[in-house]
Structure 1
Amino acid sequence: MAQQQQISLPAKLINGGVAGMVGVTCVFPIDLAKTRLQNQRSGQQLYKNMMDCLIKTVRSEGYFGMYRGAAVNLTLVTPEKAIKLAANDFFRHQLSKDGLTVFKEMLAGCGAGMCQVIITTPMEMLKIQLQDAGRLAAQQRLMPAMVTTLKLGGTSAVLSRSYNANPAPQVTRVSATQITRELLRTKGVTGLYKGLGATLMRDIPFSVVYFPLFAHLHQFGQHSPENPTVPFYWSFMSGCLAGCTAAVAVSPCDVVKTRLQSLKKGANEETYNGVVDCISKILRKEGPGAFLKGATCRALVIAPLFGIAQVVYFVGVGEFLLGYTPYNIYSA
């Protein structure tokens, strides 16, 4: 049994990584639309809805414009999803020795959410800058002679460009490597963890809701107590429903996190000094409805992402690659 558990951990890490990469590749354009919609301010709306955002993105940036920031996600989603799924399994195993209650399942999810932010925060930080670049470029085209300033931490101006109506503005594409180097140079490692509090505020409740809900929905698909196997389509549907529910529940936290982690601001877009300041300014200037910006997109991202992830995870890609059957390892 001890050897099985040793083997199962690397298998679960492989499963989590593969699941994350497959899921992100499928839903990334919707995630890009979510980020741009969340960063829109009242009175400066470039996009009406998700489809309008995607259509305008393709027209102005080409098809691959919908995948801006995907390289960061694909690079870091493997350890992020591996940590999230494997940590949840680990905590559930530790807490199940005297019986696994719903409260213990929620504690396991809480532990998984806390572990994943080690990777999630810098990944989201870099991804948001790259995803939102197209929105800011479009805003520059609509506002002649506008000055866009990249601010780190809301203090010192690091990069400033001025654009005129004619000719059309030429926006230099900034890579994730350049952003990382600039942050490390000016702010150190802590620069990559800007918005950590908001990320924790989003990811912990998400995991607390998602993992217990998925476990119970998934259990309904078992053939019988003697035969605990579940059809792959049931794993997919359980992941979709649990992911969608959890995503909508924490959508306001995701809006706050996105605003805090956006370093480059458009014209007349305010900066925020922490979670409380961000919440108060959004409420005062945009109203409660602003906290649900991009909620539909987020649900459409998370539902298939976690549905695909759970199918890959339960199919047992890692166990197959390591030469073991999924059921022997999963029963460890």
Structure 2
Amino acid sequence: MPQTEAACPRHRGVMITPVQQMVSSCTGAILTSVLVTPLDVVKIRLQAQKKPSAFSRGKCFLYCNGLMDHMCACLNGSTQVTQQTWYKKPLPAPFSGTMDAFMKIIRYEGVSSLWSGLPPTLVMAVPATVVYFTCYEQLKAAMQYNECCSYDWWKPMTAGAIARVWAASLISPVELVRTKMQSAQLTYQAVGQAINNTIKTQGVFSLWRGLGPTLLRDVPFSALYWLSYETMKAEVLRTTGSPELSFSESFVAGAGAGTVAAILTLPFDVIKTHRQVELGEQVITGGKKVSTSTLFLIKKLYLTQGFHALFTGLAPRIIKVAPACAIMISSYEFFKTLFYNRNLQQAQDLEVECDITLQP
């Protein structure tokens, strides 16, 4: 696997290893998850309060830890608060808004409750993000991308699209099995059995059900995101003359690139969400298979809700995607720069040692 060399001539000769890329992306993924999860936990609690029927057993809801959307199966809860699942816990009074929800959850359940539901999704999202970012960097290096060359604009798009296909394909079977496991309240020891049963009854390719709509949204998003981000990054470096982006510069560029990609891929996100929910509920209930093709869902939404239905939820999507992208890329770039400077210092020290050794 090739090492990544910084793009502009001023960086030639200094490498960032794949392991260093993995550590950088892993750290960024964890930070993103920890910082963004409370926002989605509060959103889900508000939704469960307003539409309790949507959280009855056999139903599904989307949970996002800032990196990936995950399907969660609704379980039965008892009347005892301590035994109820985190998204259905009642409080002394209903929430009147987002800030009120934050305050009441902290007061009555503790601060840790804001990170409810994080572990099962973090187990998959962090490895998938590491694969995604490392694959992107390796592909970009293999294409010999040069951020100083305007003709290389297509290379980040291509690398981002391929990396997303690879990461999504790896995580898709695990996501489908986990939804079934959670709905049946299985233990981790039953993972192998759940996979075997799914393959025997529905075939091996059933593990990738729902991958199409996921790729339909995530691949264009990744292509547009990396095109926007690398373009902004190159422009800032050209203007400032700096070798690297500062933390604030990468934060703003990441938020801007995420916003652009989120707006342009919104219809794909709507379709993907609808199909993911329907497939999740089908897996849980084991009911009769219904048509969940992309074209079928587009036609269904158009006939029942109108053309505007494909563009609903723009504001919530931007509010969730922009900060997640900003936190992820800025922390990722920060640690990449840290490793780059470390490697540069080691290279300079080695040169000094060689010069001393070669002196007569």
Q: Judge same fold: TM > 0.5, yes or no.
A: yes
**Structure 1 position 261, deviation (Å):** 2.2
Q: Is 1:219–2:270 an aligned residue pair?
A: no
Q: Which residue of 1 aligns with 2:20?
A: 11
Does the 8 A contact of 2:3 with 2:138 survive in 1? no
CA distance in 2, matches of 1:195, 1:326: 47
| Alignment deviations for residues 12-70 of structure 1 (CA, whole Å, 9 cap, x no partner) | 1111121112112211244467789999xx9x889xx9949967x959x9676664542
**Structure 1 position 221, deviation (Å):** 2.7
Root-mean-square deviation over aligned CA pairs:
4.6
Identify the match of residue 314 of structure 1 among 313, 316, 333.
333
Q: Cα distance 1:198–1:4, how it changes in 2: closer, same or farther (>3 A)?
A: closer
Which SS does the other structure have where 1:228 is aligned? coil
Q: Which residue of 2 aligns with 1:110?
A: 161
Q: Cα distance 1:226–1:35, how it changes in 2: closer, same or farther (>3 A)?
A: same
Q: Cα distance 1:127–1:183, how it changes in 2: closer, same or farther (>3 A)?
A: closer
Unaligned stretches of 5+ residues in structure 1:
134-149, 151-158, 160-172
Identify the match of residue 24 of structure 1 among 29, 33, 47.
33
CA distance in 1, matches of 2:239, 2:119: 42
Q: Cα distance 1:177–1:4, how it changes in 2: closer, same or farther (>3 A)?
A: same
Does the 8 A contact of 1:80 with 1:120 survive in 2? yes
Which SS does the other structure have where 1:222 is aligned? helix
Identify the match of residue 152 of structure 2 among 85, 101, 105.
101
CA distance in 2, matches of 1:10, 1:327: 17
Give the greater-gyration-radius structure (CA). 2
Query: Counterpart of 2:197 in structure 1: which amino acid?
Result: R
Query: How many residue pairs were aligned?
Result: 282
CA distance in 1, matches of 2:175, 2:42: 14
| Alignment deviations for residues 174-232 of structure 1 (CA, whole Å, 9 cap, x no partner) | 78887996465234654442210001101110011000100111223327675322211
Q: Is 1:185–2:204 an aligned residue pair?
A: no
**Structure 1 position 236, deviation (Å):** 0.3
Q: Is 1:231–2:250 an aligned residue pair?
A: no
Does the 8 A contact of 1:195 with 1:260 survive in 2? yes
Q: Is 1:264–2:281 an aligned residue pair?
A: yes
Q: Cα distance 1:65–1:279, how it changes in 2: closer, same or farther (>3 A)?
A: farther
Q: Cα distance 1:327–1:250, how it changes in 2: closer, same or farther (>3 A)?
A: farther
Identity of aligned residues (%): 22
**Larger RCO (CA under 8 A, 6+ residues apart):** 1
CA distance in 2, matches of 1:127, 1:244: 30
Which SS does the other structure have where 1:23 is aligned? helix
Moved more, 214-223 or 90-99: 90-99
Does the 8 A contact of 2:22 with 2:130 survive in 1? yes
